[in-house]
Amino acid sequence: MPINKKHEDGRWLYTVSGRLDVNTSPDLQKDLEENITGSEDVVFDFSELKFISSAGLRVLVFTKKKLGENGNVIIQGANEFVLEILETTGLRSVFDIR
């Protein structure tokens, strides 16, 4: 999974495609650790994401914790599978789903 990101207007946009799982999530988390701060929003574009595992969910939770109360995690373009996983795990209400 290549990491496509850009920073503009005080927020990071990460476009994630393919699978976000135990093999790919460490690279995304490392990039997030190096780039995001607590005062910005992070947008995950999941329009090309096919699968997310618990390891991928852990990265989303890590991002929310790192941002704290001043930043938001926004998920856009998620397919029904990803939305169902977020709903089943109780995480859908934690993130701003668009």
3-state helix/strand/coil string of the chain: CCCEEEEECCEEEEEEEEEECCCCHHHHHHHHHHHCCCCCEEEEEEEEEEEECHHHHHHHHHHHHHHHHHCCEEEECCCHHHHHHHHHCCCCCCCEEC
Q: Which of 37, 38, 49 is nearest to 77 (CA)?
A: 49
Q: What is the pLDDT of residue 38?
A: 72
How many domains does the chain contain in total? 1
Q: Could you tell me the pLDDT band of residue 10, with boundaries at 50, 70 and 90?
A: confident
Residue range(s) defining the domain that contains residue 75: 4-97
For residue 67, what is the domain's CATH number?
3.30.750.24
Model confidence over 12-67: pLDDT tens digits? Answer: 999 999 999 999 999 999 999 999 987 689 999 999 999 999 999 999 999 999 99
